[in-house]
């Protein structure tokens, strides 16, 4: 068994995030000016968890995740993993709650706890399985002790954390530049979650 220290980080703020839109894997937008400023401020904070360069950095291939990783760690040496992309929100993509309010398909999704099928979108269970498969890829060699940072999306983080802990998906709602720090023991037979905690809120601008 090998010990892995993992930082699971949501990307910085985008224009769509600020407008509270469903921004999934169909919308490949960059960080907003505010998002860039926040990420740069976090990188410069001497108390920040970004001060120590991890052994490896992995990210969703979407621009907002890669841009966040490049700012936080001042490097472009980032391994991209397709499975770490955000959910495909189908008909809901780029819309807000207020724009969808009253739509029967949206109401059915809400009534289903936000886990039902989105018209033209991705199956919830398939998304969770895909996200966890991407996380496993990010861990790399299960017998190598190392520190890994994984920059991805809010939905991806919720899927991974619910799978690791057995808790509810929506227990792990994560703000921009938020996330989790965890210790894992990994081996050829799988992984065990030893401990986890939210990244310190006082480190985030």
CA 180 to chain centre: 10
Instruction: Indicate the average pLDDT of the chain.
Output: 94
Rounded CA-CA distance 118/113 in Å is 12
Rounded CA-CA distance 2/116 in Å is 37
Helix axes 124-139, 154-165, angle to 10 degrees: 80
The count of domains in the chain is 1
Residue 51 in this model has a pLDDT that exceeds 80: no
Rounded CA-CA distance 66/58 in Å is 9
- For residue 174, the domain's CATH number is 3.40.50.1240
- Decide if 106 is inside a domain: yes
The first and second tokens of residue 98, run together, are: 């207020």
- Decide if 2 is inside a domain: no
Range of the domain at 191: 10-203
Average pLDDT over residues 82-94: 97
Contacts of residue 127, defined as CB under 8 A and 6 or more positions apart, other chains included, come to: 87, 88, 155, 159
Backbone conformation region of residue 93, classed left if phi is above 0, alpha if psi is from -120 to 50, else beta: beta
More confident residue, 46 or 203: 46
- Decide if 1 is inside a domain: no
- Decide if 66 is inside a domain: yes
Rounded CA-CA distance 89/183 in Å is 31
pTM score, whole prediction: 0.95
Average pLDDT over residues 43-53: 80
More confident residue, 52 or 195: 195
- Decide if 4 is inside a domain: no
Please, what is the Cα angle at 197 between 184 and 194, to 5 degrees?
A: 25
- Decide if 3 is inside a domain: no
């Amino acid at each position: 068994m090998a010990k892995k220290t993992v930082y699971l980080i949501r990307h910085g703020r985008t224009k769509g995030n600020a407008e509270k839109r469903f921004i999934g894997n169909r919308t490949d937008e960059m960080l907003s000016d505010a998002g860039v400023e926040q990420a740069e401020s976090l990188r410069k904070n001497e108390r920040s968890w970004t001060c120590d360069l991890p052994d490896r950095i992995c990210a969703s291939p979407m621009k907002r995740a890669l841009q966040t990783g490049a700012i936080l760690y001042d490097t472009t040496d980032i391994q991209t993993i397709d499975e770490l992309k955000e959910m495909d929100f189908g008909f809901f993509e780029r819309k807000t709650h207020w724009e969808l309010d009253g739509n029967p398909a949206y109401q059915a999704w809400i009534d289903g706890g936000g886990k039902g099928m989105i018209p033209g979108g991705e199956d919830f269970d398939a998304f969770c399985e895909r996200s966890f498969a991407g996380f496993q890829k990010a861990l790399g060699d299960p017998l190598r002790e190392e520190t890994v940072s994984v920059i991805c999306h809010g939905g991806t983080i919720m899927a991974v954390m619910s799978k690791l802990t057995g808790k509810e998906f929506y227990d792990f709602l994560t703000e921009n530049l938020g996330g989790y720090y965890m210790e894992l023991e990994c081996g050829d037979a799988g992984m065990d979650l030893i401990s986890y905690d939210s990244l310190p809120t006082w480190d985030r601008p």
